[in-house]
């Protein structure tokens, strides 16, 4: 039996990943920050698919919470086969690059970059130490098209996502000798709570301007399928790979 942690698994892309993994046969640790009701709903959906779900409230920006997330996972399942680092926030302050303040920058970097960086370190050390499972352990990092698209009023978010791209490279290179492949998935514009407030703007960009050449919104399930593809050993000789799941956004 294989076990996955999905950070930010209670809503949006994370929920899509959790359900795709449950369908693929994984027991899933559904991590969330504060929305316990949403996590419970996802947990029930996992169990309806015949798999086990463990709900763990943990703020990925806090070292103690990250350690507890890993401990509770091993306590419940005894192993970890897949870490999906998905949790993230959009900037709550949008400000021009020449005016943006440090406080909101620090908070966003703690959640979107520092938290994943050290959670991966902790998970990898445990994966290295555990008995081999059905297939080698893997790590998937959810970054963004913002890793390479300069949005001048949310530099903090772009810097964090670009940092995740290098985080993927670093851990892929370091963990290869342990048989642990690391992948970066770059979602394009996906319909979730994060994009809800800007639906009209993105409708225009997608359907009129064709910024997403496959002219539709991405869905959480699109990202879930990509995670399952790498998790289930479809790319065993690829690591540090970037997988664009963006409807062709990167072609523009
Ligand atoms: P949502 O806002 O819909 O969901 C965010 C999830 O992350 C929730 O489960 C939330 O938990 C969790 N979360 C937030 N902060 C923390 C924290 N400090 N610790 C633990 N969990 C936390 O976002 P999306 O699903 O849209 O985004 C998921 C990821 O995909 C993010 O990394 C985002 O940057 C990235 N992405 C999204 C795109 C999009 O178009 N939507 C495009 C490209 C990348 P809770 O429910 O408790 O609040």
Q: How confident is the model at residue 252 (pLDDT cuts 50, 70, 90)?
A: confident
- Active site members: 157
Nearest partner of 24 among 162, 230, 218, judged by Cα = 230
Q: Which residues contact 237 (CB under 8 A, 6 or more apart)?
A: none
Q: How far apart are CA 217 and CA 167, in angstroms?
A: 27
Say if CB 186 and CB 243 are below 8 A apart: yes
Average pLDDT over residues 243-248: 98
Q: Residue 251 to residues 32, 95, 197, 210: CA-CA distances in angstroms? A: 33, 28, 26, 11
Compute the mean pLDDT over every residue in the chain, rounded to the nearest whole number: 97
Q: Check pocket membership of 84 for ligand 1, CB cut-off 6 A.
A: no
For residue 100, the CA-to-ligand 1 centroid distance in Å is 22
Distance CA 10, CA 33 (A): 9
| Predicted local confidence at residue 93, as pLDDT | 81
Q: Which of 194, 197, 203, 224 to mutate to test the pocket of ligand 1 (most atoms within 8 A of CB)?
A: 194
How far, in Å, CA of 138 to CA of 161, rounded? Answer: 20
In this model, does residue 158 exceed pLDDT 90?
A: yes
Cβ(24) to ligand 1 under 6 A? no
Cα(131) to centroid(ligand 1), Å: 31
Residue 92 is predicted with a pLDDT of 81
Tokens, residue 1: 């039996």
Ligand 1 pocket, 194 CB below 6 A? Answer: yes
* ipTM score of complex: 0.99
pLDDT digits (tens, 9 = 90+) for 178-234: 999 999 999 999 999 999 989 999 999 999 999 999 999 999 999 999 999 999 999
SS3 32: strand
Q: What is the pLDDT of residues 220-236, one digit of tens each?
A: 999 999 999 999 999 99
Expressed in angstroms and rounded, the spacing between residue 49 Cα and the centre of ligand 1 is: 23
For the chain, domains (ranges, CATH) are 2-251 (3.40.50.720)
CA separation for the pair 130, 66 (Å, rounded): 19
Does residue 3's CB lie within 6 angstroms of at least one atom of ligand 1? no
How many helices (H) does the chain have, and how many strands (E)?
9, 7
The residue-averaged pLDDT of 41-62 equals 98
Which is the closest atom of ligand 1 to the Cα of 65?
Answer: 19
CA dist., res. 161 & res. 148, Å (int): 8
């Amino acid at each position: 039996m294989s076990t996955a942690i999905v950070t930010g698994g209670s809503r949006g892309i994370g929920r899509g990943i959790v359900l795709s993994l449950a369908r693929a046969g994984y027991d899933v640790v559904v991590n969330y920050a504060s929305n316990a009701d949403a996590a419970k709903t996802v947990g029930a959906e996992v169990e309806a698919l015949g798999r086990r779900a463990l709900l763990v409230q943990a703020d990925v920006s806090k070292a103690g919470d990250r350690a507890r997330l890993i401990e509770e996972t091993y306590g419940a399942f005894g192993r970890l086969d897949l870490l999906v680092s998905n949790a993230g926030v959009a900037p709550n302050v949008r400000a021009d690059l020449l005016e943006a303040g440090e406080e909101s920058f620090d908070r966003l970097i703690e959640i979107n970059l520092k938290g994943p960086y050290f959670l991966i370190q902790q998970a990898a050390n445990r994966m290295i130490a555990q008995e081999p499972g059905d297939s080698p352990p893997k790590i998937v990092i959810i970054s963004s098209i913002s890793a390479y698209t300069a949005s001048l009023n949310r530099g903090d978010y772009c810097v964090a996502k670009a940092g995740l791209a290098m985080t993927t490279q670093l851990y892929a290179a370091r963990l290869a000798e342990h048989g642990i492949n690391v992948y970066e998935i770059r979602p394009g514009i996906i319909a979730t709570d994060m994009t809800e407030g800007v639906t009209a703007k993105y409708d225009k960009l997608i359907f009129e301007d064709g910024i997403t050449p496959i002219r539709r919104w991405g869905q959480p399930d699109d990202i879930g399928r990509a995670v399952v593809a790498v998790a289930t050993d479809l790319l065993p000789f690829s690591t540090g790979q970037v997988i664009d799941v963006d409807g062709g956004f990167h072609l523009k």
